[in-house]
Amino acid sequence: MDTNIKHIGVFTSGGDSPGMNAALYAISKAAEINNIRLSGIRRGYEGLIDGDFVKLKPNEMQKIVHRGGTVLKTARSSRFLTLEGRKLALNNLLKNKIDALIAIGGDGTFKGLLVFSELCELPFVGIPGTIDNDLAGTDFTLGFDSAVNTAIDNIDKIRDTAESHNRIFLIEVMGRDCGYIAINAGLGVGADAILIPESGQDFVRLLDKIKNYESEDAFIVVVAEGDELGAEITASKIKELNPEVDLRITKLGHVQRGGNPSALDRMLGIRLGAASVTALMNGERNVMAGILDNQLKFTPFDSVVKQHQVNEELYELLKTLNT
Ligand SMILES: Nc1ncnc2c1ncn2[C@@H]1O[C@H](COP(=O)(O)OP(=O)(O)OP(=O)(O)O)[C@@H](O)[C@H]1O
Ligand SMILES: O=P(O)(O)OC[C@H]1O[C@](O)(CO)[C@@H](O)[C@@H]1O
């Protein structure tokens, strides 16, 4: 056990995601039990650069396990992309006598830590916190399940109006350049078609169906925001084929990032939060904590940020169900 860890810094970075507060609660509790001082760093890398450090009290964190967003706030930091910014961040860590860092964020956050490790020798442990589910080394990222549930709730509502009017709806969901939210939300609502960045065949399947569309029912298409055509171009191609169709586009947007975390995300945050403190005490460094096949696993940052592939079985499922 590495008893040199007396003071840990923790921050949330990139897009917020439901479950981040649950992870912060578990980190604060595990630190307290192990007599480790914990400093929260506000606004991700921005707060590291500005020295914006706060106390995280476990008894207060306990009360926000159920809340979405991140109590530490988060940011995308252009200053951290510069060596000058990273040197300021290092100075603040040294000045505050921080022995180790826990970062909750997505692939950009871990790329940042990889670059930072060239300058800073402190051990880092990451927790996958992004709704996109675009990281290797974990079956699910924190917030993905909640975001899919939010998308499903909203698309169910759109179906009511789509069926009443016999309309085609193209519904854009988040995920950056990854189709996981679209696949899960689309299958979960019984969509007629799902368009994702990873597939070249989905648009062909959609066109085949639209050719036979009789305008006597709803037609629901879930489109990942990173899809190569996207909702607008897809809509214009459908109109070219059949100018008479009644079609609407809805972009679900940031509603997918908000709301209370699902049970799954609360548990994921709590498991990974506690594990990250134990990992640092055990001498782990530059790894991301994740759950693979329901087992806790630690994967080096350089492996988790490699291009994430959509699960082959899900990809085949779209073909099997002709969606
Ligand atoms: N190559 C890099 N070098 C240094 N810092 C980086 C690098 N890539 C990203 N970062 C830092 O990490 C921050 C977070 O990354 P980003 O904005 O891509 O979000 P993310 O962690 O991928 O989360 P999300 O998936 O929710 O968007 C960036 O704003 C930037 O400060
Ligand atoms: O909130 P912002 O900075 O506009 O970022 C939106 C992006 O962040 C995410 O919500 C999380 O990475 C993506 O799905 C989306 O493309």
Of 50, 52, 107, 132, the active-site residue reads 132
Residue 109 has pLDDT above 80, yes or no: yes
Pocket lining: 174 vs ligand 2, CB cutoff 6 Å = yes
Q: Which residues contact 39 (CB under 8 A, 6 or more apart)?
A: 7, 8, 9, 10, 53, 54, 55, 56, 96, 98
76 C-alpha to center of ligand 1: Å? 6
- CATH of the structural domain 7-142+261-303, one choice from 3.40.50.450, 3.40.50.410, 3.20.20.80, 2.60.40.10: 3.40.50.450
CA of 100 to the centre of ligand 1 (A): 19
pTM value > 0.90: yes
* Residue 3: band (very low, low, confident or very high) from pLDDT cuts 50, 70, 90: low
For residues 107 and 113, the answer to whether their CB atoms sit within 8 Å is no
Could you tell me if the CB of 22 is within 6 A of ligand 2?
no
114 Cβ inside 6 Å of ligand 1: no
Report the amino acid identity of residue 47. G
C-alpha distances out from residue 102 to 140, 201, 222, 223, Å? 18, 40, 35, 34
Measuring from atom 11 of ligand 2, which residue has the nearest CA?
A: 15
Question: Token pair for residue 93?
Answer: 């860590």
Q: Does domain 144-257 have CATH number 3.40.50.460?
A: yes
What angle separates helix 180-188 from helix 312-320, to the nearest 10 degrees?
40
| Whether complex ipTM tops 0.85 | yes
In the chain, ranges of CATH 3.40.50.450 domains: 7-142+261-303
Please tell me if the CB atom of residue 80 comes closer than 6 angstroms to any atom of ligand 1: yes
Q: What share of the chain in percent tops pLDDT 70?
A: 98
Phi, psi of 304 (to 5 degrees): -75, -25
Q: Helix, strand, coil proportions of the chain in percent (round to 5)? A: 45, 20, 35
Residue 139 among the catalytic residues: no
Whose Cα sits closest to atom 2 in ligand 1? 112
Kindly state if the Cβ of 257 falls inside 6 Å of ligand 2: yes
Ligand 1 pocket residue status of 109, Cβ below 6 Å: yes
- Distance in Å, CA 15 to ligand 1 centroid: 9
* Phi/psi at 216 (5° precision): -110, 15
Ranges of CATH 3.40.50.460 domains, the chain: 144-257
* pLDDT tens profile 216-231: 899 999 999 999 999 9
Q: Which of 202, 207, 166 is nearest to 186 (CA)?
A: 202
DSSP E strand stretches across 2-149: 7-12, 37-41, 53-55, 100-105, 124-128
Task: Say if residues 131 and 256 touch (Cβ distance below 8 Å).
Answer: yes
Confidence bin at 311 (pLDDT 50/70/90): confident
Name the residue at shortest CA distance from atom 16 of ligand 2.
176
